[in-house]
Amino acid sequence: MNRQVLAVLLLISCSTTAFAGEQFDIEVTDRAVVQRCVTKGLPRSIAVGMPGGFNYLFDPVRCRLVSVWFGDFLDFRPEATGRGGQPLVPLGVRRNLGTAEVPIRIGAEDRIPEAVEFAGYRIEPATGIPAFLFAVDGVPIEQRVLSFGPGQVTIELAFPTPGTQPRLYCMEMTAVEQCELSDRLEQPAAGFVRIPATESWAQIRLQLKPTKESFVRQQPTTNGRLLYAVHCMSCHTLDGGKRIGPSFADLWTAPRIVSRNGQLESMVADEAYVRESILKPQAAIVKGYENANRMVDITQTLNEQQIEALVAFLKGLKPSGS
């Protein structure tokens, strides 16, 4: 794992796993994860990954729920391998629930708000679940988005100060199969929910239409250098420096003394040797490394083409002398 990735890992309070491909997934475990990020078309957005595989994107500029998706959370690869500020890729099939405008209206559904102020979010300590805090035309609002089942999305709005005008919530309905409202809320038109001035709390429960699309990961990478960086670099350097295992500098065609079944054996680090070192790391142990941490069995994580790519990468390394 390279330094950039490590730095990123320390910055976010959740675990990132390097998968067998170019993905660096942010994993959500038993606490919600709130990740400020850049996504395509939204230079500032906040992604929330909830335990149980429900995720959503919130736009703090318009204070709107943009989209939701079920399953894995975010692919962190663009941040980890790029120069930063690259769009992150939400995984899964995204369902759009946002409008282009500010979804909350005060007084009437066609009154586009003049003032929208985002004030951040409050994290519930036990679960990590965020409530977004903002004010629309001076009316303070707290919004939470939850899911209680497959394809189910619950939008919860709380109004901490009593109001004088009804509030309206406006959303995109193409992905919605059914919409249920808490008491005293009504739907004056499709996509609009009217919350009376007297209500301090509102819940909008959406059941999404099933989707025909299914989520397919990108092809695992066959970039040898990237595979090296993710799977081998923690133990093997390229510059002659010693880590847990021998350096890869000057490896190719170099003579080796290995111990095989307790017998010392002279070998040349050719393709067959390197391949065996990767596929059966315990078969022949490089002299001097008998007591080192054992090399991991990589065949569980990498496919054949990826191992080919790694072998080609090692073969293509320039000898350190030149």
**What distance, in Å, lies between the first and last C-alpha atoms of the chain?**
27
Hey, how many other C-beta atoms are within 10 angstroms of the C-beta on 2? 14
Q: Does 18 bind ligand HEC (CB under 6 A)?
A: no
Contact 167, 177 (CB under 8 A): no
Hey, how many other C-beta atoms are within 10 angstroms of the C-beta on 289? 16
Looking at 289, 308, 315, 317, which residue binds ligand HEC (CB under 6 A)? Answer: 289
- By the 10 Å C-beta count (0-12 exposed, 13-18 middle, 19+ buried), 207 is classed as middle
For residue 208, give every residue at least 6 positions away whose Cβ sits within 8 Å of its Cβ, in sequence order, or none.
68, 95, 151, 152, 153, 175, 176, 177
Cα distance between residue 263 and residue 166, in whole Å: 84
Q: Does 277 bind ligand HEC (CB under 6 A)?
A: yes
- By the 10 Å C-beta count (0-12 exposed, 13-18 middle, 19+ buried), 33 is classed as buried
Looking at 61, 112, 115, 244, which residue binds ligand HEC (CB under 6 A)? Answer: 244
Q: Does 249 bind ligand HEC (CB under 6 A)?
A: no
Looking at 185, 234, 250, 315, which residue binds ligand HEC (CB under 6 A)? Answer: 234
Looking at 98, 128, 224, 246, which residue binds ligand HEC (CB under 6 A)? Answer: 246
Whichever of 42 and 251 has its CB closer to ligand HEC, that residue is 251
Q: How far is the CB of 297 from ligand HEC (least distance, A)?
A: 10
Q: Does 20 bind ligand HEC (CB under 6 A)?
A: no
Cα distance between residue 255 and residue 273, in whole Å: 11
Cα distance between residue 72 and residue 101, in whole Å: 28
Q: Does 272 bind ligand HEC (CB under 6 A)?
A: no
| Interaction mask 202-231, ligand HEC, x per CB under 6 A | -----------------------------x
Q: Does 238 bind ligand HEC (CB under 6 A)?
A: no
Whichever of 205 and 287 has its CB closer to ligand HEC, that residue is 287
* Interacting residue ranges for ligand HEC, rule: CB under 6 A: 231-232, 234-236, 244-246, 251, 256, 269, 274, 277-278, 281, 285-286, 289, 292-293, 295-296, 298, 310
